[in-house]
Amino acid sequence: MYQGQALCLNKLDAGLVELTLDLQSSSVNKLNQHTLTELAEAVVILRDASDVKGLLIRSAKPAFVVGADITEFVENFNLSEEQLATWVGRTNQLFCELENLPYPTVAAINGLALGGGFELALSADFRVIADNAKIGFPEVNLGLCPGWGGTVRLSRLIGATDALEWAVRGRPQAAAKALAAGAVDQVVAADELQAAALAFLQQAVSGDVCYTSNSARKIDERTETLDLAQLKQHFSRDLRPGSPAAEMIIDAISQHVSLPFEAALKVETGCFVALAKSDATQSLVRLFLNTTQLKKQANTWVKQARPVAQSAVLGAGIMGGGVAYQSASTGTPIIMKDINDEALTLGINTATQLLDKQLEKGRLDDAGKTKVLDAITPTLDYTRFNGADLVVEAVVENPKVKAAVLADVELYVPEHTVLASNTSTISIDLLAESVQRPEQFCGMHFFNPVHQMPLVEVIRGSKTNDATIATTVAYATSMGKTPIVVNDCPGFLVNRILFPYYNGFNRLLKQGVDFRRIDKVMEQFGWPMGPAYLADVIGIDTMVHADAVMQQGFPERMCHDGSVIMELLLADDCLGQKNGKGFYQYGVDDSGRRYKEASGPVMELIAAEVTDKVEVTDQEIIDRLMIPLCTEAVRCLEDGIVETPAEVDMGLILGLGFPRFRGGPLRYIDTLGLDHFAAIVKQHQDQGPLYQLTDGFIRRQEAEEKYFA
């Protein structure tokens, strides 16, 4: 009947037709413009055919449809609001035409049906789903809402309250839960999906199940009373400042659930268009594209890599134990060495505690826990290191200790073994002087806590070869991490950009700005923690040590004028959360609840250092912290520390928690506009060298170029 590059129509027996989705030259089905064009052509054929009695929609790939093509979305976001609404309306009309075919339709859902893919499935009269498949609307994670009738049809099928849970949370839903909610009509074993869906279609054709009444459930408005204020309170954790998608989805569904179908579609389209034109959505979509770019870069390295069948970690502290857990739990056995049994016990206990949490959440069973622990081999010597393909050194952050350990372990490993140092600040070239094969040595900087933080900086020294980088990137990827290849410099990428931010923080403190206010302002800006709280979490001692490295590495702009508040805290035995004393005091009250409150002694200590108290607005606080961070991000790109703006932005998002809806420091500059950012910097240029534009930035500004085209 029809053969295209994305789908085909084939006649089956007894007047049934099968529409098979199979996008050529792609591992997945996605609703790009080509697919939608072919679908429109197929629907015309189906509408005009006089001998068709029923339609089965299925996928020839492991997943039904993973969603719309985001790369095409980016181009369409540049359209005017009216043009964008017209573009959305065309697909809405197509899905309505499919929905209104004069015979029953069944979608057989395998793998994933997400976003536009789920909306396509909703346009069918019935949905039969494999028991291992998932459906849902992840659009909120891109700052969007479904735009092709998804929230309208789903809210009528399962009720507005449940539909809000799906659309606002953005999590894929398992088959059993989808059936219980009423979003699908049957769950079957994956290997029986096609036959079961066809049997269901035959029942609909014969009249054993009524397709018209089932389809009407998606069309007819509901008389559902919703309390908007109560809903927003319920979803309060999802309502993020600066990212309006969740709140606008709540408003849209609450408004359209009781409207006629066509009017409801217009409400959803209006919501989609408004979000698509917002800065937050532009940044989140760019973040998605950046993530895709990083995966492609990592895969290029992985193809060149020597497999890591056995790894090892030196040091069984918090970081070493975390590395051991992460490696073992993702399938690579690991040797964990330290110099005493107490340290090894601590490392095993770290892994055990993490596994026990997985057990409590039902994500692991006892056999799985035992398998992971059996993959960690604690040892006090190098006996088993003759089989290690890669060794991560994770001892104390001291160059002399690290150099000695690296020189020692190199004597016991095979010639092909890669050595990697988990250092956050120490020069890889400096450490490379201690090894005999510097070409097989690099940095592998994990972020704490290892099991939660997705980023790994793979640091290339001047003598590191590509094979070493490839193997290290592949190992990080196998651990479920996102590796970014970084050239050696003090602080590498993330810490080099972070400490100018803290330089600005120190200046504000010494001018009498309350750290509690600074934290509140920056958290409202979108950071998960303000700078004072983050310093306590990292550890004041760690911060002071790293700051000293940065000052030594970049004295012309990273040295401080006068006293450094965190150095004074450290001298007063304030380590942050490590000992319960930092900018805040931490403890447990009489009821057993943890508390955090501003430290009175620290406030007095800071007050004694204030010599020139100034009044600043909240926006000035933001600017004085973000300018040095952003200008250092620009310098990292210009200095070739990483190759692309995407790596800069993803490093800060994954390593520091930079506000996702702002896209990263370079995307933040693009959003403000280079001219506007330059004007802000000029207002604060008297703050010192960190508050100056680079020559490269000025050239880009004059050429009217952005960091992201």
Residues with catalytic roles: 445
Positive or negative CA dihedral for 435, 441, 442, 445? negative
Please tell me what DSSP assigns to residue 685: G
The answer to whether 663 touches 706, Cβ cutoff 8 Å, is: no
Q: Measured between alpha carbons, how far is 111 from 118 in angstroms, rounded to an integer?
A: 11
The answer to whether 691 touches 679, Cβ cutoff 8 Å, is: no
Q: Measured between alpha carbons, how far is 342 from 548 in angstroms, rounded to an integer?
A: 31
The answer to whether 205 touches 103, Cβ cutoff 8 Å, is: yes
The answer to whether 357 touches 349, Cβ cutoff 8 Å, is: no
Output the CA–CA distances (angstroms, integers) from residue 541 to 554, 573, 604, in the order listed: 20, 9, 20
Max CA-CA distance within the chain?
Answer: 89
The 3-state DSSP class for residue 419 equals strand
Residue 319 CB neighbours (<10 A): 25
The answer to whether 491 touches 423, Cβ cutoff 8 Å, is: no
The answer to whether 587 touches 543, Cβ cutoff 8 Å, is: no
Output the CA–CA distances (angstroms, integers) from residue 506 to 283, 531, 532, 603, in the order listed: 29, 10, 10, 13
Buried b (16+ CB within 10 A) or exposed e, 687-707: bbbbbbbeeebeebbeeeebb
- For 257, residues 6+ apart whose C-beta sits below 8 A from its C-beta are 155, 156, 160, 221, 222, 224, 226, 264
Tokens representing residue 705 in the block = 């170029």
The answer to whether 156 touches 223, Cβ cutoff 8 Å, is: no
